[in-house]
Amino acid sequence: MKVKIILLLLAFGMLVGQNSLQAGGTPEKISRNLRELAASSVPTVIELRRYFHQNPELSNREFKTAAKVAEFLTSLGLEVKTGVAHTGVIATLKGGKPGKTVALRADMDALPVPERTGLPFASTAKGNLNGQEVSVMHACGHDAHTAILLGVARVLSSLKAELPGTVVFLFQPSEEGAPEGEEGGASLMVKEGALKGVDAIFGLHVKKEMNVGQIGYRPEGFMAAADRFVIRVKGKQTHGSTPWTGVDPIVVSAQIVQGLQNIISRQTNLTEAAAVITVGSIHGGLRFNIIPEEVEMVGTVRTLDSKMQDEIHRRMVQTTHSIAESAGAEAEIDIQRMCPVTYNDIELTRKMLPSLQTAAGAENVFSTKPIMGAEDFAFYQKEVPGLYFFVGITPKGADAELAPPHHTPEFFIDESGLELGVRALSQCAVDYLFMKD
């Protein structure tokens, strides 16, 4: 008799548990719904992506983009704030229960690149960059990022009553860098309070080196810090036929370029972390037979370790001054720290790995090597724990290494990869909100 009573109680408990699972909005139920909701959002996401692609706008000039984003978010019933960091949009979704706050971020700006994809929705847009008219294209994938996050907003809005806590959607301008004389991007978003009350942040970037259905992640240093440097070498102008009567800043500059490369190849322990110094432009002189008075060089430094970054900066100053002095020239070097390392919080990455695997399948999620490209998502990660990951957009079966690179006129996105972006960000947000500390 006692055994029968115990069995009945167990059966009743299981029945109650099943009913509460079906009606109580548990994370398990929501997780099962996410795949269906993400799939249903695909037509809308593709439509939005094509609109943004056909109407690209440069950094700090994302007026139409921001208006479209704000209109869509308002239609979902979210609290929407515009004009953040010039053209940024922030939307807030308050769940039906109290809890933590998670932020999700997408960047909105395009690049001064002419499009040669041949797509029916290819860009023919023009823009003004520092006083010069340029062709404009979404040659990096920010159109996809914006559309994906709008899809996530649509998915999570339908689950509002069941969510504990708050989701903040950050649509950020100027990830590619503000125009000369302007401030912008993630650092300005942070300065203007975008992360107020936020406990963690997630973001993604489409990546041509990966196929549709794949997700790449990495704890710790994921993308490099980016610095900009300017070197001015001052010599003594003279006739090209008698270089000994002057000081040739062009020859000195050539020696400095070589010296900078020696810092990387001979003075930096690259087994600890990768590092790059690149001189991107050199300007000096007006005529073939005149040695000029001054040469200017502009370039970038990329590092994955902050101590190495400091040491490379020190050696750059020392090398520049020493080489110039040895030739009787003068040199000035200015190094501007533009973007820190995109650093994925170790513990947060560990906790969220199952979410990425749920979204894509464990066999499609893998740890990647760090890359020397930079991403201003790093400014958010300096304030709160963050996780940034890659989503593949090269067609399945195609050689991703042969796909047109980002920032080129032929850059192409297989739109079938957008659904995984929606699913992955949604899964991360939901799992984090339900996760116990």
Q: Could you read off the pLDDT of 373-393 as tens digits, one per residue? A: 999 999 999 999 999 999 999
At residue 423, what is the residue type?
Answer: R
Mean pLDDT score of the chain: 93
* Segment 194-236, tens digit of pLDDT: 999 999 999 999 999 999 999 999 999 999 999 999 999 999 9
Pair 408, 236: CB distance under 8 Å: no
The residues annotated as belonging to the active site are 109, 175
pLDDT at 6 over 90: no
Confidence band for 26, pLDDT divided at 50, 70 and 90: low
pLDDT band with cut points at 50, 70 and 90 for residue 10: very low
* Rounded average pLDDT over 229-257: 98
* Short-list 392, 388, 419, 424, CA closest to 141: 392
The pLDDT of residue 401 is above 70: yes
Is the predicted pLDDT of residue 327 greater than 50, yes or no?
yes
Annotated domain spans of the chain: 12-224+341-434, 225-339
Give the burial class of 140: count Cβ atoms within 10 A of its Cβ; 0-12 exposed, 13-18 middle, 19 or more buried: buried
Query: Domain 225-339 belongs to what topology?
Result: Alpha-Beta Plaits (3.30.70)
Please state, as a whole number, how many other Cβ atoms lie within 10 Å of the Cβ of residue 120. Answer: 7
What is the average pLDDT across 171-187? 96
pLDDT band at 14 (very low <50, low <70, confident <90, very high): very low
Q: Which of 428, 423, 419 is nearest to 345 (CA)?
A: 428
Task: Domain 12-224+341-434: give its CATH architecture.
Answer: 3-Layer(aba) Sandwich (3.40)
pLDDT digits (tens, 9 = 90+) for 228-239: 999 999 999 999
Q: Where residue 31 falls among pLDDT bands split at 50, 70, 90?
A: confident
Q: How many CB atoms lie within 10 A of CB 314?
A: 11
Place of tokens 């080129």: 408
Q: What was the pLDDT predicted at 32?
A: 82
Q: Check: pTM over 0.85? Answer yes or no.
A: yes
With 90 as the cut, is the pLDDT of residue 436 above it?
A: no
Q: Is 373:206 a contact under the CB 8 Å cutoff? A: no
pLDDT (0 to 100) of residue 437: 76
pLDDT average, residue stretch 86-111: 97
Q: What is the DSSP letter of 55?
A: S
Q: How confident is the model at residue 255 (pLDDT cuts 50, 70, 90)?
A: very high
